[in-house]
Amino acid sequence: MMIVDTHCHLDDERYSRDLDEVIQNAKAVGVEKLIIPGADSNTLLRAVEISEKYPEVYFAVGVHPYDIKVYNREFLEQFVDHSKCVAIGECGLDYYRLPKSKEERLKEKEAQKRVFIDQILWAKEIQKPLIVHVRESSVDCLEILEMYAGEKGGVLHCFNADESLLKLAKKNFYFGIGGVLTFKNAKKLVHVYPKIPEEKLLIETDAPYLTPHPYRGERNEPKYTQLVAHKMAELSQTSVEEIAKRSTQNAYALFDF
């Protein structure tokens, strides 16, 4: 059984002491490829270094909406032609921690939109898929992606269960499913999950965050893709092997490893 972890932050300092063991543990349960999203330019060199050391690891270049102040496309451009670079992102919109004043909130939203659109246009120009972060910003993200995204599409990382976003499947967008699906309070996602086209499902961990039940609260690792796959199989009323096969085919179709 083979699985692709399409979103794991292996460049995080929490893996600095045992990264080799983490990757070996993932391989032992069938994780054949892993993608480190580009969230912070300060850790990008580490992501590239890891991808060059481990054949199973790939990376993306981009800036998370929380880090737009350090967005430097010229710096990022030097990595997009690397043989292990498979996407642009994670980019997107996150309105969860906006400033309190109305004026500052509007200013922050507009700044996030500008950087998001620039990364979308960049991905479109170089024909790479997007890794998109959407948090409490579905309306604006949907509008922007429908207007600017190219034919390569991308993945809505840690899909937030907003049904309005499902229409993006027609624009070649996939939906990243992770440990949240196993949470007891994930009723909305459990309800929406069966409505996602099976040819658009991807598995991710977002490690070291969002660890699946029953290990919630501990450091997440790519080996826990197994727990996600089992929950997906349960909701899809199919086998874990079929979920692994389908999601892996989808990952190869999107990222063109």
Q: Pick from 250, 256, 220, 241: which is nearest to 2 by CA? A: 241
Model pTM greater than 0.75? yes
Mean pLDDT of 45-65: 97
Mean pLDDT of 232-238: 98
pLDDT digits (tens, 9 = 90+) for 186-216: 999 999 999 999 999 999 999 999 999 999 9
Mean pLDDT of 31-40: 94
The CATH number of the domain holding residue 7 is 3.20.20.140
Domains held by the chain: number:
1
SS (H, E, C) 23-52: HHHHHHCCEEEEEECCCCHHHHHHHHHHHH
The residue range of the domain holding 19 is: 3-255
Q: What is the helix (H) or strand (E) element at residue 158, kind and residue range?
A: none
Contacts of 237 (CB under 8 A, 6+ apart): none
Instruction: Give the separation between CA 36 and CA 245, rounded to whole angstroms.
Output: 21
Asked if residue 99 has pLDDT above 90, the reply is no
Asked if residue 59 has pLDDT above 90, the reply is yes
Asked if residue 1 has pLDDT above 90, the reply is no
Q: How confident is the model at residue 39 (pLDDT cuts 50, 70, 90)?
A: confident
Instruction: Give the separation between CA 53 and CA 234, rounded to whole angstroms.
Output: 36
What is the reported pLDDT for 155?
98
Contacts of 226 (CB under 8 A, 6+ apart): 3, 29, 30, 240
